[in-house]
Amino acid sequence: IMSIFGEVPLAAPVAVFKLTADFREDQNPSKVNLGVGAYRTDEGQPWVLPVVRKVEKMIADDHSLNHEYLPILGLPEFRSSASQIALGEDSPAIKDNRVGAVQCLGGTGALKIGAEFLRRWYNGTDNTKTPIYVSAPTWENHNAVFSNAGFEDIRPYKYWDAGKRGLDLEGFLSDLESAPDHSIFVLHACAHNPTGTDPTQDQWKQISDVMKRKSLFAFFDSAYQGFASGNLDKDAWAVRYFVSQGFELFCAQSFSKNFGLYNERVGNLTVVAKDQDNLNRVLSQMEKIVRITWSNPPSQGARLVAITLNTPELFAEWKDNVKTMADRVLLMRAQLKEKLKALGTPGTWEHITEQIGMFSFTGLNPKQVEYLVKEKHIYLMASGRINMCGLTTKNIDYVAESIHEAVTTV
Amino acid sequence: MNSEFRERQPIGVKNLSKHGHTTWLPPVRKIKQQISTDPTLTPEYTHILGIPEFTRRATQLALGKDSPAIVESRVFGIQTVGCTGAVRLGAELLRSCYCSSSSWTHVFISLSFLEDSLAGTFKAAGIEDVQYYRYWDAESNGVCVENMLYDLENAPEQCVVVLFASGHRPTGAELSQEDWKRVAEVMKRQLFAFFLMSAQGLCSGSLEQDAWPVRHCVSLGLELLCAQSFSHNFGLYGERVGHLLCVLKQNLLAVQSQAEKLVQTLWSCPPMEGARVVATVLSNPAHLESVKAIAERCMLIRERLRERLRLLGGPWQWDHIIKPGGLYCCFGLNTQQVDFLVQKKHIYLLPNGCLNVSAINSRNLDYVAESIHQALSSKR
CATH code of A30's domain? 3.90.1150.10
Regarding whether A332 and A299 lie in a shared domain, the answer is no
Regarding whether A332 and A309 lie in a shared domain, the answer is no
Point out the catalytic residue in the list A168, A175, A198, A221: A221
CA atoms within 13 A on the CB side of A269: 27
User: B108: closest CA among B19, B187, B200, B43?
Assistant: B187
- Cβ <8 Å between B264 and A144: yes
CA atoms within 13 A on the CB side of A380: 31
Q: What is the pLDDT of residue A221?
A: 98
Total of domains in chain A: 2
DSSP letter string, B87-129 = HHHHHHHHHHHTTTTS----EEEE---S-THHHHHHHHTT---
- Cβ <8 Å between B88 and A294: yes
Is A246 within a domain? yes
* pLDDT, average across residues B244-266: 96
> Known catalytic residue: A158?
no
What percent of chain B has a predicted confidence (pLDDT) above 70? 90
Cα end-to-end span (Å), chain B:
24
Interface pTM, i.e. ipTM = 0.91
User: A270: closest CA among A259, A258, A282?
Assistant: A282
* pLDDT, average across residues A31-57: 93
* pLDDT, average across residues B328-349: 86
Pairing type for strands B224-229 and A385-387 reads unpaired
Last residue of a domain, one of A293, A314, A335: A314
Regarding whether A241 and A191 lie in a shared domain, the answer is yes
* B85 in Cβ contact with A293 (< 8 Å): yes
**A75 CB contacts (<8 Å, ≥6 apart)?**
A103, A297, A299, A302, A303, A306
Regarding whether A90 and A20 lie in a shared domain, the answer is no
* pLDDT, average across residues B306-317: 89
CA dihedral B58, B60, B63, B68 (to 10 degrees): 140
- Cβ <8 Å between A60 and B35: yes
What's the CA angle centered on B198, arms B196 and B203, to 5 degrees?
A: 110
Chosen for mutation from B29, B45, B47 (greatest number of chain A CBs closer than 10 Å) is B45
Q: What is the pLDDT of residue B113?
A: 54
Cα(A373)–Cα(A89) distance, rounded to whole angstroms? Answer: 45
Q: What is the pLDDT of residue A260?
A: 96
Point out the catalytic residue in the list A47, A139, A160, A318: A139
Is A1 within a domain? no
**B363 CB contacts (<8 Å, ≥6 apart)?**
B4, B20
Regarding whether A136 and A206 lie in a shared domain, the answer is yes
**A134 CB contacts (<8 Å, ≥6 apart)?**
A142, A143, A146, A154, A155, A156, A157, A186
Cα(B283)–Cα(B119) distance, rounded to whole angstroms? Answer: 35
Is A234 within a domain? yes
User: The CATH number of the domain where A102 resides is what?
Assistant: 3.40.640.10
Cα(A379)–Cα(A402) distance, rounded to whole angstroms? Answer: 12
Cα(A281)–Cα(B125) distance, rounded to whole angstroms? Answer: 23
Chosen for mutation from B49, B99, B223, B251 (greatest number of chain A CBs closer than 10 Å) is B251
Q: What is the pLDDT of residue A365?
A: 94
User: Rounded to two decimals, what is the model's pTM?
Assistant: 0.92
Question: Cis ω on the peptide bond leading into residue A366 (within 30° of 0)?
Answer: no
> Known catalytic residue: A181?
no
Q: What is the pLDDT of residue B322?
A: 82
Report which secondary-structure segment, H or E, holds B161.
Answer: strand B160-166
Is A283 within a domain? yes
Domains, chain B, ranges and CATH?
Answer: 9-23+289-377 (3.90.1150.10), 52-286 (3.40.640.10)
Select from B101, B265, B269 the Cβ nearest to the Cβ of A7.
B101
Cα(B162)–Cα(B87) distance, rounded to whole angstroms? Answer: 10
A43 touches chain B (CB under 8 A): no
Chosen for mutation from B99, B230, B273, B276 (greatest number of chain A CBs closer than 10 Å) is B273
Give strand pairing partners of A360. A386
- Cβ <8 Å between B268 and A106: yes
Locate the chain B residue with the closest alpha carbon to A57: B36
Select from A57, A291, A293 the Cβ nearest to the Cβ of B36.
A57
> Phi and psi dihedrals of A194, rounded to 5?
-105, 0
| Chain A residues near residue B231 by CB distance under 8 angstroms | 69
Point out the catalytic residue in the list A257, A337, A339, A376: A257
A94 — pLDDT class (breaks 50, 70, 90): very high
pLDDT digits (tens, 9 = 90+) for A213-271: 999 999 999 999 998 999 999 999 999 999 999 999 999 999 999 999 999 999 999 99
| Chain A residues near residue B255 by CB distance under 8 angstroms | 5, 8
**A45 CB contacts (<8 Å, ≥6 apart)?**
B42
A48 touches chain B (CB under 8 A): yes
pLDDT digits (tens, 9 = 90+) for A152-197: 999 999 999 988 889 999 999 999 999 999 999 999 999 999 999 9
Is A6 within a domain? no
Locate the chain B residue with the closest alpha carbon to A53: B36
Residue type, A212: K
* pLDDT, average across residues A103-130: 98
- Cβ <8 Å between B84 and A291: yes
A143 — pLDDT class (breaks 50, 70, 90): very high
> Per-residue pLDDT for B89 more than 80?
yes
Cα(A226)–Cα(A212) distance, rounded to whole angstroms? Answer: 27
| Chain A residues near residue B258 by CB distance under 8 angstroms | 8-9, 11
A2 touches chain B (CB under 8 A): yes
Cα(A148)–Cα(A115) distance, rounded to whole angstroms? Answer: 9
A14 touches chain B (CB under 8 A): yes
Residue type, B148: M
B183 — pLDDT class (breaks 50, 70, 90): very high
- Cβ <8 Å between B265 and A56: no
Regarding whether A115 and A220 lie in a shared domain, the answer is yes
| Chain A residues near residue B272 by CB distance under 8 angstroms | 263-264
> Per-residue pLDDT for B173 more than 70?
yes
Domain that holds residue A253: 76-314
Residue type, B140: S
- Find the farthest-apart pair of alpha carbons in chain A and give their distance in angstroms, rounded: 67
**Residue B120 CB coordination number (10 Å):** 17
B8 — pLDDT class (breaks 50, 70, 90): very low
Select from A2, A288, A298 the Cβ nearest to the Cβ of B274.
A298
Regarding whether A290 and A153 lie in a shared domain, the answer is yes
Regarding whether A281 and A182 lie in a shared domain, the answer is yes
pLDDT digits (tens, 9 = 90+) for A118-134: 999 999 999 999 999 99
Cα(A266)–Cα(A286) distance, rounded to whole angstroms? Answer: 17
A143 touches chain B (CB under 8 A): no
Cα(A297)–Cα(B242) distance, rounded to whole angstroms? Answer: 12
- Cβ <8 Å between B81 and A298: yes
Regarding whether A370 and A350 lie in a shared domain, the answer is yes
B1 — pLDDT class (breaks 50, 70, 90): very low
Select from A60, A105, A141 the Cβ nearest to the Cβ of B33.
A60
User: B118: closest CA among B24, A164, B127?
Assistant: B127
* Averaged pLDDT score across all residues of chain A: 96
* pLDDT, average across residues A90-97: 97
Q: What is the pLDDT of residue B14?
A: 61
B4 — pLDDT class (breaks 50, 70, 90): very low
A4 touches chain B (CB under 8 A): yes
A338 — pLDDT class (breaks 50, 70, 90): very high
> Known catalytic residue: A274?
no
Is A63 within a domain? no
A140: helix, coil or strand? coil
| Chain A residues near residue B85 by CB distance under 8 angstroms | 293-295
CA distance B216 to chain A (A): 18
User: A67: closest CA among A290, A308, A296, A293?
Assistant: A296
Q: What is the pLDDT of residue A154?
A: 98
Residue type, B62: A
* B269 in Cβ contact with A263 (< 8 Å): yes
Select from A8, A108, A148 the Cβ nearest to the Cβ of B268.
A108
- Cβ <8 Å between B239 and A261: no
What percent of chain A has a predicted confidence (pLDDT) above 90? 91
What percent of chain A has a predicted confidence (pLDDT) above 70? 100
| Chain A residues near residue B120 by CB distance under 8 angstroms | 288, 291-292
Is A332 within a domain? yes
Report which secondary-structure segment, H or E, holds A393.
Answer: none
B333: left (phi over 0), alpha (psi -120 to 50) or beta: beta
Alpha helices in A122-187 (DSSP H): 141-148, 169-178
CA distance B156 to chain A (A): 16
Regarding whether A306 and A334 lie in a shared domain, the answer is no
- Cβ <8 Å between A7 and B238: no
Regarding whether A114 and A238 lie in a shared domain, the answer is yes
Report in angstroms the alpha-carbon separations of A130 from A139, A252, A289.
21, 19, 19
Give strand pairing partners of A158. A136
* Averaged pLDDT score across all residues of chain B: 86
- Cβ <8 Å between B240 and A56: no
Select from A112, A293, A300 the Cβ nearest to the Cβ of B239.
A300
Residues counted in chain B: 380
A145 touches chain B (CB under 8 A): yes
B6 — pLDDT class (breaks 50, 70, 90): very low
Pairing type for strands B75-81 and B241-247 reads antiparallel
Cα(A165)–Cα(A363) distance, rounded to whole angstroms? Answer: 7
Report in angstroms the alpha-carbon separations of B49 from A9, A145, B80, B124, B126.
18, 17, 8, 21, 22
Pairing type for strands B107-110 and A32-33 reads unpaired
Last residue of a domain, one of A263, A292, A314: A314
**A396 CB contacts (<8 Å, ≥6 apart)?**
A332, A335, A336, A339
pLDDT higher at A91 or B136: A91
* pLDDT, average across residues B79-88: 96
Regarding whether A352 and A278 lie in a shared domain, the answer is no
Is A353 within a domain? yes
* B251 in Cβ contact with B97 (< 8 Å): no
- Cβ <8 Å between A8 and B101: no
B24 — pLDDT class (breaks 50, 70, 90): low
Lowest mean pLDDT among A188-202, A319-333, B9-23: B9-23
Last residue of a domain, one of A266, A294, A314: A314
